[in-house]
Amino acid sequence: MFNKFEKNIKTYVKQIPNFQTIISTKSAIYFGLTAYWGVIIFGTIFNI
């Protein structure tokens, strides 16, 4: 039974993306949100 459990854990661990991919995805999300809010604030200040 433990062997079956161990194989399942190994399968799930392989599906988790590596740490560098998580960091780059996080950076891309932050950059996108910053650009989005920058456009909103810019448009509000200059009444575009």
22 close to 28: Cβ distance less than 8 angstroms: no
H or E element, residue 7: helix 2-15
Question: pTM for the full model?
Answer: 0.52
Q: What is the pLDDT of residues 1-48, one digit of tens each?
A: 556 666 666 666 666 666 566 668 888 899 999 999 999 999 999 886
What integer pLDDT is reported at residue 5 of this predicted model?
64
* Residue 43: half-sphere exposure toward Cβ, Cα within 13 Å: 7
